[in-house]
Amino acid sequence: MKDREIEKLTRQDNGKQEQHKNNSRKWATFTYHSPLIRKVTNLFKNTDIRIAFRTTNTIEQQLTQKTSDKNPSGIYEIKCDTCKKKYVGQSGRPITIRHKEHIRYIKNCNPISAYAAHVLYNRHEFGTAEDILQLIRPCRKGSRMNQWENLYIQTYRQQGRLIEEQQVGEENPLYKQALPPNRRT
């Protein structure tokens, strides 16, 4: 009889130890890049390590833009120092590099860009990047950047702030709707 009671108590004790073991499992976190990560985590299936996943693209990251970039890419404007009209452009590279290219065209009397043509043909002056270059909208290269550039070109043209040498595509009536009432002409 004592043997049965001892055996019963031992079984109950082993059950508690297993529960304690399950609670003391360690966790490993993997960044979920693709379904292949599942194959890697399956290697841990029969161990005491539990697996958790995290993503690299959260909603917050998609909706907010990083402003820590000191030399960003995106839609920019370059102001003419003489007439104060502006050139609107886009660059997937840092905008200061693109500004240096415009200045090089001017110094080499090469009217490749509309801004260089404006300065050369009208004998206007240009300034330093700090004085005449401004980022209008930070964004990445792609079709979205093209749309933002077209919006700003059309807006500046309607407001009379765009240099004459800049080519303007077809006027898009949707852009008028996209602007707040105080920025429409």
Q: What is the pLDDT of residues 154-176, one digit of tens each?
A: 889 888 999 999 887 777 777 77
pLDDT at 95: 92
Q: In sequence order, what are the residues at sequence separation of 6 or more whose Cβ sits closer than 8 angstroms to the Cβ of residue 31?
A: 37, 53, 54, 55, 56
Distances (CA, A) of 178 to 115, 171, 181: 27, 13, 9
Please state, in angstroms and rounded to a whole number, the distance separating the CA atoms of residues 9 and 3.
Answer: 10
Q: What is the pLDDT of residues 70-116, one digit of tens each?
A: 668 899 999 999 999 999 999 999 999 999 999 999 999 999 999 99
pLDDT at 38: 79
pLDDT at 185: 43
- Any idea which architecture 74-183 has in CATH? 3-Layer(aba) Sandwich (3.40)
Please state, in angstroms and rounded to a whole number, the distance separating the CA atoms of residues 118 and 82.
Answer: 11
Q: What is the pLDDT of residues 117-152, one digit of tens each?
A: 999 999 999 989 899 999 999 988 888 888 889 889
Q: What is the pLDDT of residues 54-75, one digit of tens each?
A: 887 777 766 666 555 566 889 9
Please state, in angstroms and rounded to a whole number, the distance separating the CA atoms of residues 16 and 36.
Answer: 37
Report the relative pairing of strands 49-54 and 26-31 from DSSP bridges: parallel
Which part of the chain is CATH 3.40.1440.10?
A: 74-183
Q: In sequence order, what are the residues at sequence separation of 6 or more whose Cβ sits closer than 8 angstroms to the Cβ of residue 169?
A: 150, 153
81 within 8 A of 127, measured Cβ to Cβ = yes
